[in-house]
Amino acid sequence: MPRILMTGASGGIGTRLRTLLPPIYPDLLLSDIRPPADLGPNEKFKAADLSDMAQCEAICDGVDGIIHFGGYSVEGPWDDILQANIIGGYNLFEAAHRKGVKRVVFASSNHTVGFYPRHHKIGTDVTVRPDGRYGVSKAFGEAVGALYADKHGLKVTCIRIGNCDEKPLDHRRIAMWLKPEDLVQLCRIGLEHPDIHFEVFYGVSLNERAWWDNHRAYEFGYRPTGRSEDHVAHAMAEQAKLKPDPIGDYFQGGAFASKEFDGDASRIIDWNKR
């Protein structure tokens, strides 16, 4: 069986996948800057700070494939995102190349395209329009992945994750919800499909109100089982508790788009109506 490294094992998504991946990949190595609080006796863990190349090389040694969920996972100060996502992201790909890793699944984000309006359905081939520093770092990660695929032959899959949870938590997430088991499907395509070179997929389940054209994932065999319409009542009840957000409610990035926003809202919205 292949040895798979999963970074970001202590994060929200990593915590969910820790229970779903071992039956598929028994030789699973977990990593994060610090161990999960509930690390089990049968789980293999190796700590690493991704901003340190030597530590990245250490966790990549002897690994066949990587699921890269490590890094800074929300909008935040530039220096934090720079170290964890920009430097750390580059280090991870370079270390994988140096150590002969064959495949990398990179956890990108919907925030690479967060400044597209919700009424536009977009594919993966659009110009990136990040909604913050975090989104910029994920667009950078996709670009680095493309470089290592084209220049060095690493097989790279980038997943623009919507919101991975047990159910959609508000109106926005009805469009972008990703069932954890469906994320596992996408990871398996990246780690196993023979025709992967460099691909970008949207991390989204079978959502009738989705803003994204995910046909490339379906061409590679993706068959999601989650359906956000089954959870609409819960999502809208939660939405009713939230305050209106004129910018966030218009753009796909939600609160990431409205955070620190001080531009001309009317000009941006008018431009996007064209």
Active site residues: 134
Which residues have a Cβ under 8 Å from the Cβ of 271 and sit 6 or more positions away? none
E strands, the chain, in order:
4-7, 28-31, 44-45, 65-68, 103-109, 155-161, 163-164, 177-178, 198-203
Q: Please answer whether residues 214 and 153 qualify as being in contact, where contact means their C-beta atoms are separated by less than 8 angstroms.
A: no
- Residue that has been written with the tokens 């990136």 in this structure: 128
Phi, psi torsion values for 132, nearest 5 degrees: 175, -175
Phi, psi torsion values for 170, nearest 5 degrees: -165, -175
Which residues have a Cβ under 8 Å from the Cβ of 83 and sit 6 or more positions away? 51
CA distance 70 to 83: 12
CA–centroid distance for 223 within its chain: 18
